[in-house]
Amino acid sequence: MKKFLYSIGLSLAALSTQAQVKPFQQNDRVIFVGNSITEAGAYVSYIYLYYMTHFPGKKIVIMNGGIGGDKASDIYRRLDYDILAKKPNVLVLTFGMNDTGYFEFNNPDADKTAAERVAASQRSYQQIEQRLLKLPAIQKIMMSSPPYDETAKFSGNMFPGKTKAMLEVIRFQEAAARKNNWAFTDLFRPMSALNQQLQQKDSTFTIIGPDRIHPGNAGHLVMASLFLKSQGLNGKPVAEISINGGKLQQAVNCTVSQLSASGNKVSFSYLAGALPFPIDTVSRIWGNNQKQSDALNWIPFTEDFNREMLQVAGLSSGDYNLLIDGRIIGKWSADAFAQGINLATLPETPQYKQATSVMQLNLHRAELEARLRRYYWVQGNFFDKKHLLLQDDAAALDSIRTAAKTDGMLRFHEENYETAMYKELRNAWLKEIDTVINMIYTINKPVLHKIEIVKI
């Protein structure tokens, strides 16, 4: 695994001529623009949750700008009324999965069709580029698509050659980002390498999913970790405490006070500068049973992004209870404490429970946002083509009700549209999202805890 991570590091180093992907700053309004993988929203929410927990005093807004089925041409058409209308100052742009096609790769003229599709994608991207170049105040980040899984050994959705076509899209994305001095994040190559490495043990394995296209929750955590790594955020601890012989040796991103040590007990007050990243154990993407926690078996997310280390050396041999605020969290040997205990992996700590509340609120925020994304799906995939864009009147409603009788995707979106068509209700959802974000940035501040290590 470490060898694979080194290869990721080399991949990112190879892109060092690109502009650096800067960490988000206070008051940034960030929007991730993409297709159904972005609309699903998990990787966007994970990136947001990282910032909510690791930078509790740095309030930002991260928005989902994904619509299922989108190609670069679709993104261009909705750029003004959907994306720029949200007034972002940071825009992350990704496309390529839909641009390159699907079943066409099983036809005799697949190479010719793929070349035409890549060329069409580049032309549409150039329209997006020209629009964005007129907005110098917006920081632009190009991000490659996650991969189509062409190597897993199972049946269904097999489109030989799609990977090659997607790489062609990525090459022009990289070149465009370099030309414009825009930052670039590569998800495709590192995820493909990891996927193929894990398939050496199980040829049917996929970090994507059964349709080879849409990652599940674990795949989305891989995506989020690669984006955060491109921002240089890996290796930054939640907090680190090192005590030796009853004396404080190091306190990173935290303060330690009232340290007291005797032969059988060490105690101190602890105020961290961040919260741990809580790991979800529920599958939340339809049709894909991956859980976010599954990704911990594939990538060192904990090592890179979730270390809250408590190291206490010099304890006499034996076992010790760890208490936080008077409650026993667990027991470890003196040797284990000397090696270090990662508090961020312990769900029973009060700081982990506090972070879990942040996670639950962030999930609710994403659920509200999903209603708005489904509204814009109808606008982009139906009304725009019927010359009823943003009309939202009785004629528009009748139109979608008629079409939904024979269109399964419209039928899925119809009920949501019947409420979302009212601007007043959409505004109410936006206000609720703002309320939830404000609540998160109220409860995400670390609090003072008393830590005790007591010999059993």
The C-alpha atoms of residue 284 and residue 280 are separated, in whole angstroms, by: 10
81: exposed, middle or buried (C-beta count within 10 Å: 0-12, 13-18, 19+)?
middle
Residue 123 φ/ψ, nearest 5 degrees: -65, -40
- The pTM of the full predicted model, rounded to 2 decimals, is 0.95
Residue 262 in contact with residue 254, Cβ under 8 Å? no
**What's the whole-number average pLDDT of the chain?**
95
10: exposed, middle or buried (C-beta count within 10 Å: 0-12, 13-18, 19+)?
exposed
Beta strands in 137-264 (DSSP E): 139-143, 183-185, 239-244, 247-252, 254-261
Helix or strand run (H / E) with residue 328:
strand 327-333
Q: Strand 449-455 vs strand 265-272: parallel, antiparallel, or unpaired? A: antiparallel
What integer is the mean pLDDT of 266-281? 98
Q: pLDDT for 166-221, tens place per residue?
A: 999 999 999 999 999 999 999 999 999 999 999 999 999 999 999 999 999 999 99
Going by pLDDT thresholds of 50, 70 and 90, the confidence category of residue 17 is low
Structure tokens at 42: 């998990």
Q: pLDDT for 393-414, tens place per residue?
A: 999 999 999 999 999 999 999 9
DSSP state of 440: H
Going by pLDDT thresholds of 50, 70 and 90, the confidence category of residue 228 is very high
96: exposed, middle or buried (C-beta count within 10 Å: 0-12, 13-18, 19+)?
buried
The C-alpha atoms of residue 285 and residue 356 are separated, in whole angstroms, by: 19
DSSP state of 30: E
Q: pLDDT for 330-363, tens place per residue?
A: 999 999 999 999 999 999 999 999 999 999 999 9
Q: pLDDT for 316-331, tens place per residue?
A: 999 999 999 999 999 9
Whether 3 has a pLDDT exceeding 60, the answer reads no
Going by pLDDT thresholds of 50, 70 and 90, the confidence category of residue 261 is very high
The C-alpha atoms of residue 248 and residue 253 are separated, in whole angstroms, by: 14
pLDDT at 2: 47
Whether 13 has a pLDDT exceeding 80, the answer reads no
Residue 393 φ/ψ, nearest 5 degrees: -125, -170
pLDDT at 263: 75
Beta strands in 189-326 (DSSP E): 239-244, 247-252, 254-261, 265-272, 308-313, 319-324
Going by pLDDT thresholds of 50, 70 and 90, the confidence category of residue 18 is confident
The C-alpha atoms of residue 15 and residue 10 are separated, in whole angstroms, by: 9
What integer is the mean pLDDT of 84-99? 98
Any idea where the domains of the chain sit in the sequence?
A: 2-230
If DSSP codes are grouped into helix, strand and coil, which group holds residue 65? Answer: strand
What integer is the mean pLDDT of 139-146? 98
Residue 252 in contact with residue 239, Cβ under 8 Å? yes
Whether 1 has a pLDDT exceeding 90, the answer reads no
Residue 346 in contact with residue 352, Cβ under 8 Å? yes
CATH number of 2-230: 3.40.50.1110
What integer is the mean pLDDT of 142-156? 97
Q: pLDDT for 43-64, tens place per residue?
A: 999 999 999 999 999 999 999 9
Q: pLDDT for 157-170, tens place per residue?
A: 999 999 999 999 99
